[in-house]
Amino acid sequence: MSTQPPLLFALDLIGTFVFGLNGALTALRVTHLDVVGVVTLGMMTALGGGVIRDVLIGAVPPATFLYWPYFTLAVAGALIAFVLNRWLDRVGMSITVLDAVGLSVFAVIGASKAVEFGLGAGPAMLLGVITAVGGGTIRDALVGQVPTVLRSELYAIPALVAAAITVAAIGLDVYGLAAALGAVAVCFAIRMLGVRYNLNAPRPPGFSETS
């Protein structure tokens, strides 16, 4: 099984489940897919970023195919979204909160795994972000949307911050459960501030929402 600390591994599994849920809900809102299509998009959202990371660093087969909880929870989240989608729409904010947890944990785990495989600071931070946002980007592309990471409240930036904190902690030899959870908390806080106050990354001078 995973060598991560138990709490971080548990959060990783929660993030996998929630991303599966969110991916399937997105598919249901913008398409008329059947259960196979909905589950497929849910799985891609939950697992896509980690698979891309593992392939790029040579950790094959990817962890998704080695540890059954990842695959199982991604499918479970997608199926729950398919069955309970109307009820889940009514609690959208709570799902957004859990999505932020998944984003935060995936950024930290992605960056730490990249360093473990010998990558430098820059590539490790990049792979932390890819782990966090890669699955959602694949999902959005498949349903014909501009990826969320390019158009909504702060999303990639908090993931990058968490990855940078992780890489710095490893470089200073102070990385552990406390440092990992600290990076997760910072990412989560920035993401939720972006949602709460509709904050976005800087846009071109003169840009307006109606342009």
Q: According to the 3-state scheme, what is the secondary structure of the chain?
A: CCCCCHHHHHHHHHHHHHHHHHHHHHHHHHCCCCHHHHHHHHHHHHHHHHHHHHHHHCCCCCHHHHCHHHHHHHHHHHHHHHHHHHHHHCCHHHHHHHHHHHHHHHHHHHHHHHHHCCCCHHHHHHHHHHHHHHHHHHHHHHCCCCCHHHHCCCCHHHHHHHHHHHHHHHHCCCCCHHHHHHHHHHHHHHHHHHHHHCCCCCCCCCCCCCC
In a domain, 163, yes or no: yes
In a domain, 37, yes or no: yes
Number of separate domains in the chain = 1
In a domain, 205, yes or no: no
Of the given ranges (37-46, 140-149, 187-196), which has the lowest mean pLDDT?
A: 140-149
In a domain, 208, yes or no: no
Query: Has residue 118 got a pLDDT over 70?
Result: yes
Mean pLDDT of 17-35: 86
Average pLDDT value for the chain? 88
- Model pTM score: 0.89
In a domain, 107, yes or no: yes
Domain that holds residue 134: 6-197
Confidence band (pLDDT; 50, 70, 90) for 181?
A: very high
